[in-house]
Amino acid sequence: MSEPVVVVYDPITTIRWNYDVERETLAEHGVTLLLPPTLDEARAVLPRADVVVASGKLPTAELDLMTRCVAVVCYSVGMDGVDATRAAQLGIEVTNVPDYCTEEVSDQAIALFLALQRALVPTAAAAATGQWQVRDWDEFYRMRRVRGQTMGVVGLGRIGRRVAEKAQGLGMTAIAHDPYPTDAPIPFLPLPELLERSDAVVLCAALTPESRHLIDAAAIARMRDDAVLVNVARGGLVDEAALAEALHAGRLRGAALDVREVEPTPPDSDPLLGMRNVVLTQHVGATSVEAFADMHVLAAARILDLLRRHGRLAAR
């Protein structure tokens, strides 16, 4: 059995990040980790790869170069950056690292929700410039008590379940919509009914061709005028033009988005900038010291499991 090779197609280089844990863990099992510094060099070594790791989008054309590859590991929870249909045609498994940031993303969802309830971002920004008088703002009179509200969670996977549990811990009622209902002790509803009943709708669903623009103008029209929308999943779940139109028209109380359909969204074409009832963050929901440490360990474990299952590494 030849020594397995793992290629990181697009190594993370823009932040303080290294792959020492993955490299050392894989080396203990005789597996080589390659970190090509350019995409051209990545393409040159893809034919050697038993497993490919993709931090972002993996162009479909690259799959055809991966003649030895048994699996692609998305270095994230989401897997929408890989053409799963073409990968399946080539016999390449597509998987992810699902457990590394469950607490962080669910925390981010609750934090964004609370920021909207308390108009935290605009009032804090005003206070930072010495502005004290905010009692003439519409947002001042639309703050809500959290206890007693209903949170509708769309997508009840690991993260969605934790969002629901944390909402319940705040004294809220949690309801859910998911195309694959589970035995979770939370009422499952059709999406239209969830939208109509929820004070807050939190998106935790995967982005698929079927779920793109799941929250469009028609869906927003079903939501209450005093409801808020929170998205910590994928930006493509929301029709942002329809959302901006509804917010400007007062058909929603607010929105908080950690993810956008285009990242980063060009400031000169972003319809959601400059609104006091909108909170925008930079896709940071998965971030924490603990999550980063978990990612290294769990990614290495996932790679080793894949190599063993596909016969590229001897079982223990």
Give catalytic residue positions: 234, 263, 283
> Could you check whether 5-100+289-309 and 102-280 share the same CATH topology?
yes
For the domain spanning 102-280, the CATH number is 3.40.50.720
**What residues contact 234, with CB distance under 8 A and at least 6 apart?**
78, 80, 205, 206, 207, 259
What is residue 213's predicted lDDT score, i.e. its pLDDT?
A: 98
Q: Which helix (H) or strand (E) holds 200?
A: strand 200-203
Cβ atoms of residues 65 and 47 within 8 Å? yes
What is the tens place of the pLDDT at every residue in 192-228? Answer: 999 999 999 999 999 999 999 999 999 999 999 999 9
pTM above 0.75, yes or no: yes
Report the sign of the C-alpha dihedral through residues 190, 261, 125, 135, in that order: negative
Question: Residue ranges of the chain with pLDDT lower than 50?
Answer: none
What is residue 257's predicted lDDT score, i.e. its pLDDT?
A: 98
Q: Which residues pair with 238 in a beta bridge?
A: 215
What is residue 271's predicted lDDT score, i.e. its pLDDT?
A: 95
Cβ atoms of residues 219 and 191 within 8 Å? yes
Q: Where are the domains of the chain?
A: 5-100+289-309, 102-280
What is residue 185's predicted lDDT score, i.e. its pLDDT?
A: 86
Please give the radius of gyration of the chain, using alpha carbons only, rounded to the nearest integer.
Answer: 22
What is residue 1's predicted lDDT score, i.e. its pLDDT?
A: 56
Report the sign of the C-alpha dihedral through residues 20, 23, 27, 32, in that order: negative
- The closest of 253, 241, 243, 220 to 137, measured between CA atoms, is 253
What is residue 315's predicted lDDT score, i.e. its pLDDT?
A: 76
What is residue 316's predicted lDDT score, i.e. its pLDDT?
A: 67
With respect to CATH, is domain 5-100+289-309 assigned 3.40.50.720?
Answer: yes
